[in-house]
Amino acid sequence: MGHVNLVTGGAGFIGSHLCEALLARGDEVLCLDNFFTGRKANIEHLLGNPRFELIRHDVINPIVLEADCIYNFACPASPVHYQFNPVKTIQTNVMGAMNMLNLARETGARVLQASTSEVYGDPAVHPQVESYWGNVNPIGPRSCYDEGKRVAETLFFDYHQQDKVDIRVIRIFNTYGPRMLVNDGRVVSNFAVQALRNEPITIYGEGSQTRSFCYVDDLVRGIIAMMDCDGFNGPVNLGNPGEFTILELAEMVIQMTGAKSELVRNPLPKDDPTRRQPDITLAREKLGWEPAVPLVQGLRKTIDYFDALLSKNGD
Ligand code: NAD
Ligand code: UDP
């Protein structure tokens, strides 16, 4: 018999792909979400599966459930959404982590935390290795997310040390793919939607800042590999080492859509990291994992997804 998995944030972008992959291998899935940025549409196709259950709940409140594996993904990930109510974002990160750790301690479940490359802040070390402590502003607009995720990591390792909770910590780098929201606010969805509508492409700052984009299917393989891996707690970077400037990304999207969009310059948001690229040596060694989907291929699938969605909405 397969595992019983609890996926918090399971109706979100990454969470819904994770639920799907776990069901596909014969596991049971309890999908928990408060629908802040998640949508029923993301998991609608799973509702008929007898191994799938949906629970509306906010992770800042404790909950008692039986599961062998807990994937803690509840938290808005787009700067636009996590800055909407920063205090709530910290609560979600800190209280959500504590509630899932308490549940794991009570039940003996293994618990995996979706941490982030944001723990490295605006990194002074490039590419980022897990041993780097980061460069994070504690009182800036991104702090509710960055520091919240850093405290969550601290809690995970303290519960492990103090109470022997079986933890896993992954640091996810920019991930994209179908089921991102049209109004998500992150760069790949913004550019794809703007290009498909022939609207101006919004470049923040000069567009010379870099990111490394991982296709969601690759990421989900890495998440499950880490949960299944014995004797290794992490933290481990999961991301695609291909590094692109934001201008390069805009040009690729325009070329792939044939859009007539012009580029417009908007102000660079405060504390926007200048460079980001994962060193995935550890993931390769410990998990035998590396991404397989190049950016052009993943962008094609993502653009096609938004194209179908916008046509359906009469956009
Ligand atoms: P998302 O916004 O699509 O998903 C987050 C999900 O969590 C949503 O379904 C939302 O409704 C739910 N949620 C938010 N607050 C909650 C709460 N208090 N209680 C219950 N549910 C709540 O974002 P995503 O990109 O799928 O990110 C999922 C996780 O992965 C997040 O923890 C995020 O920090 C992490 N992550 C994502 C990326 C990325 O590039 N996508 C990078 C690093 C880390
Ligand atoms: N960005 C941009 N235009 C947009 C959205 C984002 O130029 O419409 C830039 C943003 O300033 C950042 C990069 O793209 O430098 C990635 O932003 P995103 O919000 O996707 O993720 P994060 O900054 O958290 O990595």
pLDDT one-digit tens code per residue, 61-91: 999 999 999 999 999 999 999 999 999 999 9
Q: Could you report the per-residue pLDDT of 216-250, keeping only the tens digit for each?
A: 999 999 999 999 999 999 999 999 999 999 999 99
Report which DSSP code applies to 261.
Answer: P
- Residues with catalytic roles: 145
214 ligand 2 Cβ < 6 A? no
The pTM (predicted TM-score) of the whole model is 0.98
Give the angle 210-285-7 at the CA atoms, nearest 5°. 70
The 3-state DSSP class for residue 61 equals coil
Tell me the C-alpha distance between 227 and 231, whole Å.
Answer: 11
Q: Give the pLDDT confidence score for residue 1 in this predicted structure.
A: 64
Q: If you measure from the C-alpha of residue 68 to the centroid of ligand 1, how many angstroms do you get, rounded to a whole number? A: 21
Q: Which of 6, 7, 8, 14 for mutating ligand 1's site (highest number of atoms within 8 Å of CB)? A: 14
Please report the pLDDT score of residue 312 as a whole number.
Answer: 87
Q: What is the DSSP letter of 200?
A: P
Q: Is the CB of 211 under 6 A from ligand 2?
A: yes
User: In this structure, which long-range contacts are made by residues 139-143, counting pairs with CB atoms below 8 Å and at least 24 apart in sequence?
Assistant: 140/270, 140/271, 141/79, 141/83, 141/86, 141/269, 141/270, 141/271, 142/79, 142/83, 142/118, 142/270, 142/271, 143/86
DSSP letter at 213? -
Rg of the chain, C-alpha, whole Å: 19
- Mention every residue, 6+ apart, whose C-beta is less than 8 A from residue 308: none
**DSSP H helix total and E strand total for the chain:** 9, 13
Which stretches in the chain have pLDDT values below 70? 1, 315
Q: C-alpha dihedral over 97, 102, 104, 110, to 10 degrees?
A: 40
pLDDT at position 77, please?
A: 96
- Nearest protein Cα to ligand 2, atom 10: 204
Tokens, residue 16: 């819904």
Relative to the alpha carbon of 271, which ligand is closest? 2
Domains observed in the chain: 4-312 (3.40.50.720)
Closest CA relative to residue 306, chosen from 204, 176, 210, 203? 176
Joined together, the tokens standing for residue 51 give: 């191994």
Dihedral angle at the C-alpha atoms of 225, 228, 230, 236, nearest 10 degrees? 40
pLDDT of residue 177: 98
275 Cβ below 6 A of ligand 2: no
